[in-house]
Each structure stands twice: as structure tokens, then as C-alpha cells.
Structure 1
Amino acid sequence: MKVLYGAAPEDIKSYDTQRLRDAFLISDLFAADAVSLTYTHVDRLILGGAMPVANSVSFGSGKEIGTEYLLSAREMGIANLGGAGTISVDGQLFTLQNRDVLYVGRGAREITMASASAGSPARFYMNSVPAGTDHPHRLITKEQSKALDLGDISRSNKRRLAMYIHPEVAPSCLLLMGITDLAEGSVWNTMPPHVHERRMEAYCYFDLAEQDRVVHLMGQPQETRHLVVANGDAVLSPAWSIHMGAGTGPYAFVWGMTGENQEYNDVAPVALTELK
């Protein structure tokens, strides 16, 4: 398990490109027949990916984090960003189509993932956070998510935000998780930029063409930095950082959050004129 320690706002003023990427960007999440997990000290989020192709993959040990099982005191959201696949949680089998999300409650011991077809493998993206309450495992399909239409095509930021793990759809202890798709012709993902002091966030960008990139802006409003992000890359966004980005072609992203509350609108917007 890879470990990231995060950084304070003052630290990143001196970071070069590679150090900024090392601290906040997570790549290579979807290697064939493997599970990749990164433990971050930014609110102790565990971020992971798995792409079973020829074989199923399993995980569940908590040895690296000091607990009997990985989810002994954690909950997890798993979004399928690829072809159809299955996830078994302690023998309970769930089938996930593209853009379905599985909530796995605290106490799960073994998780096994497989793809329905090696030619179109599932790509399972995971967020796990500490949990103090028990909630049952639950599959939330794309159709069961709650969609919100946001933005304006004339400002290139029209998008559809779908809430999956959310009090209004599927309750959890502290994890929030959803998927945002941009409308054709739009490039900006989050507008206006904002910070939410009481919650961190992680983004996983997907459905980008091989030649396309997203320029993800981060940092304090008066001291911004950027990360150039490829398909399948994930970005950590600490509570002190804005998060917004623009793509060179079509893309979507999974957002996951944890912190002091689950109030999605508990944010502090930042006017574009204030950015530096």
C-alpha cells in the first residue's frame, strides 16, 4: 500500500511539478489483474483501483493499517468505470454495470472482484474512509442515483452531477460519492471554484481519450497550482484547496468526500476574479 502524507498550504509554494504530482496525484490505478491502494493522511482516505481481466482479484486484510480487516473500522464506495463486473462481499454477490456504485459497510472481511468479459474489463475505483456507524452493503445503480443538472452551456460548464452515496440516496457514516458528466461542448467541471473547510475531496477523471488531458487547478485561491491529469488518474483535494479543471476533450469524474459533515452545499465559493 502506497502512503501519502499530504502538505500544508505554505509548503506547495516551493513545489516543482514532480513534487506536486507526487503529493497529490495518483496514477496507475487500473493495472490488469491487480489491486492498487493508496493510504493518504488527508483525512485518512484510502483510494484504490482494480481491473480484473483474466482473473478475479481479492483483498481485505487490514495488516498494513493495523486492523484485522481493511474495513474493520471503515466504509467503502466502489464505482465501476468500465465494463460489467461482479463484486462479492463476504459471499454476497453484486453485479455492477458501467457507472453503478457499490456501498460496502463497516466490518466487511473479504472483497472479490471479477469482470464479465476480459475483452471489456470492469474498472473498479474505490474510496474508503473511517466509519463509526454500521450501514448495510448496497448497490446503487446509475438509474437509482439522484441527478442534478448544473451550469450553463454558454459558459462551457454545463454538467450533470449524480449523487450515489449520499443521505438522499444511500446513507453512510461519513463518505459521500458521486459521478459528474459534462455536456457535449463543455470543458469546465466545477464552477464556481470553492473550498469546503470541513471536508476533503478526491477526484478520479475517466472516459478521456488517450490524447486528451484535464488541467486540474488546486491550491489556495490566491496561490493556485495545476496538475495535468490523464485518463484514470486521481487527485487529492485537501480542505484548504480549490478544485476546478478544464479538459481538452470529453471526460467525466468520480468525486468522493469525507470530513465533519455530509452537507454537500457547505462550501465557500470563490469568485473567479479573486484567483491568482
Structure 2
Amino acid sequence: MTMKILYGAAPQDVKGYDTEKLRSAFLMTDLFVPDAANFTYTHVDRLLLGGAMPVSKSVSFGSGNEIGTPYLLSAREMGIANLGGAGTVTIDGQSFTLENRDVLYVGRGAREIVMSSLSGKTPARFYMNSVPAGADIPHRLITKADAKALDLGDGRRSNKRRLAMYIHPEVTPSCLLLMGITDLAEGSVWNTMPPHLHERRMEAYCYFDMAAEDRIIHLMGRPEETRHLIVANGDAVLSPAWSIHMGAGTGPYAFVWGMTGENQEYNDVAPVALAELK
């Protein structure tokens, strides 16, 4: 298990960032390395973000040495989304099978997590978000069929999409973590329209199901002074509360969204008119 540390940035700092510095502060690459678990600990609301891709052997983790607790999840909850082939996640001896686009909620207090793929030819790709938790909530598997789907957007404006809530009060309880998956309709390229801010929550995106040659142009920053990141398949982006988060793809894609903050009110947002963006 590896752990990278990110400290976040204030909006006034980003004004002076070049491309390399912007990417190093907000973009996470190489999450899915064969037979490894790679994590990033960010001081943006203490989000822990990670990826694991067991191919020829199981991948296990659980020590809290990197964050100063007995176990990684001693005081945290976690969401695990499977973005690849079928696999299993075993938590302290309790096993769950995750098909593609299933999500596992892991409650506070888990000690050892072991991840395996059912086939090394089509390995599981486990994407993880973890945040501090103040309550003990049982582990729960949320299948793709269990998720609550919302159809959003307009095909004429190239932003038609289906948003599926997995870890959400309307589907399964959690302490502070929200997690879901959004798919773009055929022919649509724009996500998260209209752009918005949510001052009381931060968000992270993980883009997936992209062709190797395709890219996402992810827009971030203050509405009046935007920045952009060029994002590849399997990359993840941090979005602090002060930043917009929206993007367009050069081909089909989907993304996992995860949020944490003061509340779990999905609609607690401040929309930004497109005419205000600069």
C-alpha cells in the first residue's frame, strides 16, 4: 500500500499555478496498478482516495500507520466502487462479490480489507473514497440494480445523463460520505450542467470507461477565473468547495462522484450561469 499526501490550495494560490503544479495539486493518476493499492490522503476535508487492481494475486491493506490510527478505518467509513471485472472484497472475514458498477459501503472499524479478482484476464478495478465517520454503520453491498437512478440533462444540449445514487440517505445510510456513478447518454459529452458550487461540501471525480485515446477537459476553479485539467481514463480529480466542477469528453465516458462535508443534502448547491464563467 502506498500513500501520497496532498495539502490542497486556496483559490488565490491557483492563480499562479502552471499546468504541472495544477495537476500535482488536484489530479491523481496511476490509481490502478496491477496487484497494488495506491492511496492519496488529502487535507481537503480529509478525503482518502484510492485504487486497487488485483490481477495475479490478492491485494490487502488495513494498517493505519500512515494516518496515525490503529487501522485505516478505525475512525473512517469507505465506499468501494468496482469499475472493472467481477471481484471480491473481504472485510475481517466477511466476503462480498462486486460485479461491474456495484458499490460496497464499509463502516467504521474495519481492520483488514482483502481484494481479489474473479479472473486475472478481466481484473476488478476497485476505486475507493474514505472520510472520517462518527457512527458505526454496518457494511452493505449496493448493486447497480439497488442504486437510485435520476435522468438529467437534455440531449439537444449534449448533456443528457443518468445519475445513480449508491451511498446516499435515499439508498443506504452513511455518516458523511456520498457516492454514486454518472453515465453520459450516447452523443452527449457535457457532465454536471449547470456548473455549480457547494460551499459546504467538497467532491472528487474518477473518470472511467474511456478509450485510451480519449480525454476529458475538466474545468475547475472560481467561476470568474476558471482553470482546466486534461484527464485520462482512470484518473481522479479533487474539487474543493470553492471550485466549480464540470467537463466535456472527446468520446464516451462515465465517472464516479464522491462527496463529504457538513451535510448530505445533494441539492445544497449554488448554480452558476454559463454566462458568468470566464
Residue in structure 2 matched with residue 194 of structure 1 by the alignment: 196
- Whether 2:151 is the aligned partner of 1:145: answer no
Q: Distance in 2 between matches of 1:76 and 1:43?
A: 14
1:69-120 Cα distance to aligned partner (Å, 9 max, x none): 0000000000000000000000000000000000000000000000000000
Which whole-Å deviations, capped at 9, do the CAs of 1:13-51 have from their partners, x for residues lacking one?
000000000000000000000000100000000000000
Query: What are structure 2's unaligned runs of at least 5 residues?
Result: none
Alignment of 1:126-275 (within 5 A): 126-275=128-277
Q: State which of 106, 109, 112 in structure 2 corresponds to 1:107.
A: 109
1:69 aligns with one of 62, 68, 71: 71
User: Which segments of structure 1 move beyond 6 Å, counting only runs of 4 or more?
Assistant: none
Report the equivalent of 1:13: 15
Q: CA RMSD in A?
A: 0.2
> 1:79 aligns to what SS in structure 2?
strand
User: 1:14 aligns to what SS in structure 2?
Assistant: coil
- Encode CA deviations 1:234-276: one digit per residue, 9 max, x unaligned: 0000000000000000000000000000000000000000000
Q: CA deviation at 1:126?
A: 0.1
Q: TM-score, normalised by structure 1?
A: 1.00
Q: 1:226, CA displacement in angstroms?
A: 0.1
- Deviation readout 1:217-245 (Å, 9 max, x if unpaired): 00000010000000000000000000000
Q: Tell me the CA shift for residue 206 of structure 1.
A: 0.1
Q: Distance in 2 between matches of 1:218 and 1:237?
A: 7
Structure 1 gaps of 5+ residues are none
Give the 3-state SS of the residue equivalent to 1:168 in structure 2: coil
Partners in 2 of 1:41 and 1:5 — Cα distance? 5
In the TM superposition, 1:76-87 aligns within 5 A as 76-87=78-89
In the comparison of the two structures, how many residue pairs are matched? Answer: 276
CA distance in 2, matches of 1:32, 1:72: 27
Q: Which amino acid aligns with 1:173?
A: C
Q: Distance in 1 between matches of 2:53 and 2:26?
A: 22
Aligned AA (1:162):
A
How many percent identity over aligned positions? 83
1:182-227 deviations in Å (ceiling 9; x for gaps): 0000000110000000000000000000000000000000010000
Q: Distance in 2 between the 1:170 and 1:140 partners? A: 8
Query: How does the TM-score come out when normalised to structure 2?
Result: 0.99
TM-superposed deviation, 1:135: 0.5
Q: Cα deviation per residue 1:135-187 (whole Å; 9 max; x = unaligned)?
A: 10000000000000000000000000000000000110000000000000000
TM-fit CA distance, 1:62: 0.2
Aligned residue number for residue 29 of structure 1: 31
Task: State the alpha-carbon separation in 2 of the partners of residues 212 and 23 from structure 1.
Answer: 22
Alpha-carbon separation, structure 2, partners of 1:199 and 1:241: 11
The separation in 1 between residues aligned to 2:101 and 2:95, in whole angstroms, is 17
